[in-house]
Amino acid sequence: MRTPSRVASGKRDTGTGKTGRALLSGVLAVSLAGTMALITVPAQADPKPPVIPSQSTVDAARKAAAAKAAQVAAIEQQLAGAGARLEQLGLQAAKAGELYNGAMYRLQQAQSEAKSAADRADRAEKRLAAQRQQIGRFAAATYQGGGDLAQIGPLFTADGPQQLLDSAGAARSVSQAMQGSYLRYTASQVVTNAFKLQKDQAVTKVKAATEEAAKAKAAAEAAEAEQRSAVAAIAVQRKQQIAQLATLRNTSVQVAEQRQRGLEELARQRAAALAAKKAEELRKRIAAREAAERAEAAREARAEAAREAAREARAEAARKAREEREHKNNNNDNSSKKPVKKQPPKKQRPGTGGKRDDGGSGRNSRGARAAIDFALAQIGDPYVWAAAGPNAWDCSGLTMQAWRRAGVRLPHYSVAQYEQTKRISEDELRPGDLIFWSETPGDPGTIFHVAMYLGGGRMVHAPRTGRPVTIDSVYYWEDPDFFGRP
């Protein structure tokens, strides 16, 4: 008999249900465990994709960086240019001051010439007036003498012709004297007129020189005012530009200022090193020249000693020959007298044969030393154009007063100082000599600055407005053009 399907299926359902429930329980347990795992351990996020700038962005950044670098370079160049402009303005002010010194020098010369011309004209006028009076006295005497009738009057006197002859001779003498006086008067009148013309010309020259000096003074004042204004303006500009540098470099203003000072100091050190190199070359040239002069002096001394020895040898030979002749003559005469032996001439030590080294500039080393000591005593005093002491100086005022202390008078004008000194070359420089700079090489008429050489490639001078009397290398700026020895 078959089992009913419903009962059979029920049994099977019961078994299947148990199995399903067990499976469900496992699934739930696994799910719960997974849930717990999610709570305790966070899941890792997916990595973000990298940001890759486009090529155009890179190009733009490079362009911006290049522009910033160009701006930095431009500002640095402007700062360097500002320093150079200040130096140039100072130089221009110094040149204007020295041009004023030249104008005043020419004015003083014109005034001196005018005074001399006026004195000559006054003396000539006095001589002319005296000669005019003399001619007037001659004319009055002739008139009072009665002219020709007075000359023939003696014919009717007792003395007769003799008196007439005497009076005629006197008349001729008077006439000749009067004629001579008139000629002298005419010549004096020509000379007086010439002196008057010179006087008028000298007065005109003084007027022109006065106007020139006034213009030069105004130009010097304007140059100094421009320099002062530029110093103030460039100081403000420099501060602004350093701030811009700090922004562009993303640094502080203090660091930017420190960097700029460092760059300027580096440039100064490089210039100083070049100047020192040139000064050392000058020192070697001077030393070589002095050594050559000493060697030449020694050669001359040796030659002079040899000449002196030869002269003495000849004199000694002549003396011996003379004594031999005298001895023979005495023997022939059977003379009992012995010849007197003469002492040889005392040897004279030859001189050095060279020139006396006076220590450099000027008349002697003492004079040069006095000039140098005076100039060094003014170090630190300010530069003031047209000043010649006692507490402020320009370039030619300092050298003028320094050499005046040594007894040498020089004008307050660098061109005239060069004209009144002995021309020397660069490697002939000695302490105390003067060094000159000109605008046009080879043209001393364009000299605008003068300094005093100290030796070792150094000099003392009054440079320009803003820089006091100081010691510098001869080559600290432009190379000098002329050299002179007072």
Which sequence positions are flagged as catalytic? 395, 449, 461
SS3 content of the chain, % helix, strand, coil (to 5): 70, 5, 25
Opening angle at CA 338, ends 335 and 341, nearest 5: 145
What does the alpha-carbon distance between residue 193 and residue 155 come to, in Å, rounded to a whole number? 47
DSSP-derived pairing of the beta strands 482-485 and 422-423: antiparallel
Q: Can you name the residues that pair with 422 across neighbouring β-strands?
A: 485
What does the alpha-carbon distance between residue 448 and residue 436 come to, in Å, rounded to a whole number? 8
What does the alpha-carbon distance between residue 211 and residue 110 come to, in Å, rounded to a whole number? 12
What does the alpha-carbon distance between residue 189 and residue 201 come to, in Å, rounded to a whole number? 18
Tokens 């160049």 correspond to 77
What does the DSSP 8-state code read for residue 45? P
> Cβ atoms within 10 A of the Cβ of 312, count?
15
Do the Cβ atoms of 476 and 460 come closer than 8 Å?
A: no
What does the alpha-carbon distance between residue 384 and residue 398 come to, in Å, rounded to a whole number? 11
What does the alpha-carbon distance between residue 430 and residue 180 come to, in Å, rounded to a whole number? 62
Do the Cβ atoms of 157 and 125 come closer than 8 Å?
A: no
Give me the numbers of helices (H) and strands (E) for the chain, helices first please.
8, 6
Instruction: Please name the residue ranges forming H helices in 158-252.
Output: 161-249
**Residue 460, CA distances (Å) to 45, 201, 312, 396, 444 in order:** 80, 42, 52, 12, 21
List of E strands, 51-207: none
Q: 3-state class of 484 per DSSP? A: strand
Tokens 């002739």 correspond to 142
**Residue 18, CA distances (Å) to 12, 29, 32 in order:** 10, 17, 21
What does the alpha-carbon distance between residue 181 and residue 321 come to, in Å, rounded to a whole number? 77
